[in-house]
Amino acid sequence: MKTSKLLIPTLKETPADAEIRSHQLLVRAGLVKKLSQGVYSYLPLGWKVMKKISDIVREEMNKRDCQEVMLPIIQPADLWKESGRWDVYGKELMRFTDRHDNEYCLGPTHEEVITDVVRSFVNSYKQLPMNLYQIQNKYRDERRPRFGLIRSREFLMKDGYSFDKDEAGLETTYQVMYDGYSAIFDRCGLSYRAVEADSGAIGGSNTHEFMVLAESGEAAIVYCPACDYSANTEKALMDLSHVDTEEELEMEKVLTPDQQTIAEVSEFLGTDPKKSIKALLYRAVYAESEEHVVVFVRGDREANEIKIQNALGAMAVDMDTDEETITNLGIQRGFIGPVGLDNVTVLLDEEITRLKNLVCGANEKDYHLKNVNYGRDFECEHIVDVKEVKAGDLCHKCQAELVEARGTEVGQVFKLGTKYSVSMGATYLDENGKSKPLVMGCYGIGIGRTMQASVEQNNDEQGIIWPKSIAPFEAVVIPAVHKKQEQVDAAERIYQELQEMGVDVLLDDSKERTGVKFANSELIGYPVRITAGKMLGEGKVEIFVRSTKEKIEVPLEEASTKAKEILDTLA
């Protein structure tokens, strides 16, 4: 391919609405163009990367006896009502009615559709296990589309679904897919961690997210450097074996005028924030109702909203700061505590039950309580894990200190069990002729997310540094001055030779100045650049390796072979 035949609309300036480095570079390098909030056009170079990632996915899935299908994007509401998700999925589900007033949605995922397919054609244990997948657009009406392709409304995803006869079969399939996903991300040249995660609206028992590590990643994870434990903070656990052994002191009510925050109260009383109870007020939304909930965590901690949502079984939870709500509940902002609080639902983080002599609000303006102890001074029906685990907390497996990192989710694997097969009547006959529900797994990869995560992880001040396996072109050949025929002829020769060697190569035959060609090649991030320039008078050309910035002078006759050798060593 030649640049004169390609649409590559590179930009010198960073777009104002591109928030993170990878988003900025995808737009500046001419790979994507924003159409509207959360909706993007993939331009030729971007789509080429997407196809390379998709091809890697297909190869690894097909190696593992998965079968590719293509399912409808438009899904009838009746299927979703069968599974029970129509009323609980939330506002992210893009719903519409046709001219006959039939209800539909645009598929955010395809559990219902694939279950309908399999229940129609699979009826015997002899047909199992079965693993079906597709690579197709998905649609979710994100409340806050952001970070380019990381959280968008329309996106390309590989979604796969497995069907086994029992939990043991699912366990085997899950491991096969886990290993397959690891192979995919290895081949894409990504540094990643598989972490325990929350299953969200998909449901099921166990799930792992594949997180590409990057400082600007959208999610926080914790992991243990001493063992194999790692988890998204929505799922992370910590060691809670420690219990305060100090003697319980007499509870005391103290005046704390205008001292409302944990920091203010701790300084005023001369106490440690770790020895206090933080109160947070939330509004929990259910399918047909809502309620107000007070959550208590240790004073120096934050609460995790996904954990709160799961503990309540709610569709969503939001911090509630409405003054009218607070007045109607009869509580005092800044002075809320668990002692005597009985007019609102309470969630108490389990850690508090292991601590002694704590400070908390007295549920009276300008007053707090000292030396509050669980069991003696108050009890709670809902003792749960709602805290945000952080760096320095102890691993619940080996008690080593946890480390914190940030990452971007690019894939997730779920053990669905019989969540969909039972509700939708997807059964098979076992060896004894007995009808049993199919046991399902679900496996997704965001193709666009993977592309952008790679950019987030592999870039410098000049631009993108693509891993060879997913680069839009493996190499670019540049005649430095387009008016010098000997340089043009040499570049054309190298270009033809590399093509014959099977290298995915681009010839920059543009009329731009040399500096512009170089800047564009580094912005776009081709792994290798070969330049026919002023050294051609000595019979030499220059090879530039994007990842190391190494420049190598080689004879023209050896340029193609040397470039191929370099490419073969690159990841």
pLDDT 10s digits, 509-530: 999 999 999 999 999 999 999 9
Q: Is 1 exposed, middle or buried (CB count within 10 Å of its CB: 0-12, 13-18, 19+)?
A: middle
Sign of the four-CA dihedral 252, 254, 260, 262: negative
Superfamily of domain 3-237+404-456: Bira Bifunctional Protein; Domain 2 (3.30.930.10)
Residue 129 to residues 83, 429, 501, Cα–Cα distance (Å):
22, 13, 41
pLDDT above 80: residue 533: yes
Confidence of residue 562 (pLDDT cuts 50, 70, 90): very high
> How far is CA 235 from its chain centroid?
14
> How confident is the model at residue 439, as a pLDDT?
97
Q: What is the pTM assigned to this prediction?
A: 0.86
Alpha helices in 128-166 (DSSP H): none
Domain range summary for the chain, segments of one domain joined by +: 3-237+404-456, 252-384, 473-569
Q: Which overall architecture, per CATH, does domain 473-569 show?
A: 3-Layer(aba) Sandwich (3.40)
Helix (H, G, I), strand (E, B) or coil at 95: strand
Residue 204 has pLDDT above 70, yes or no: no
Q: What CA dihedral angle connects 119, 125, 127 and 130, to 10 degrees?
A: 70
For the chain, what is the total number of helices (H) and then of strands (E)? 13, 29
pLDDT digits (tens, 9 = 90+) for 248-260: 999 999 999 999 8
Question: Confidence class of residue 492 from pLDDT cuts 50, 70 and 90?
Answer: very high
Chain mean pLDDT for the chain: 94
How does DSSP classify residue 482?
T
Residue 90 has a pLDDT of: 83
Q: Which fold has domain 252-384?
A: YbaK protein (3.90.960)
